[in-house]
Amino acid sequence: MTYLSGSLLFLTASGHVIFEAVEWCYTWNPGSPSATLPAFSAISTVPVLKEAYAWPFLTLYFCFSTVPFVLSQQVYVCAIVLARCLHKVLATLEQELLSESRRWEQYARPSSLDNLARKVATWEYLHVRTVLMVQAMNQFFGEIFLVTYLLDVLVAVCFATQLIGEETDHSLLFYFVWLGSFVLFGAYAMLLPLPFVLLNSQVPNS
């Protein structure tokens, strides 16, 4: 699970940093160094300031926008890792139950009842604790994850709407930036919640 946690940390952080770097590069508009008014981006509500003030603004934006977003994603990542652990426990319990059932059908003897009783007690304990943990996750983080999911879907739909509704011709870079942004937030909305879906589908089967 350490590998999974590190991989998700790297993917979520690098993906968003690359997204913002490409967006800034595409929408960069230096203008006149003496100008003080912000030039607003074509694909973002964030003002791109003139050249004389660009790097201080980018530094502040990175510290107070990019870094908090990446850190908030890590809360999601921690929950994903926990959901993956619980799903693995339930899957292992199911495999052990099936294996024991086949073994019992073939080699069952009265003398093995005590050993089976201990196994059943262990399985029951692990199952109950896992289900309680799933319920606690849904209770404490369900609304947060729901809002996060809806926001990711909304952003992805906005990018898709802009791509479909744009009538004027643009460069290949324009479509690359917009399509890449749509894929990124679409992945946030569809891939990151997948462990929670698998976990909740595993609970009734176990």
Question: What is the per-residue pLDDT for 150?
Answer: 92
- Is the pLDDT at 66 greater than 80? The verdict is yes
Q: Are 152 and 188 in contact (CB under 8 A)?
A: yes
- Is the pLDDT at 115 greater than 50? The verdict is yes
* Mean pLDDT value across the chain: 78
What is the SS3 assignment for 170?
coil
127-178 pLDDT per residue, tens: 899 889 988 888 888 888 888 889 889 989 988 888 887 666 667 777 888 8
Global pTM reads 0.69
80-94 pLDDT per residue, tens: 888 888 989 888 888
Q: How confident is the model at residue 35 (pLDDT cuts 50, 70, 90)?
A: very low
Q: How far is CA 149 from CA 73, 120, 127, 156, 161, in A?
A: 12, 38, 28, 11, 18
Q: Give CA 15 to chain center in angstroms.
A: 11
- Is the pLDDT at 113 greater than 80? The verdict is no
- What residue ranges do the domains of the chain occupy? 2-205
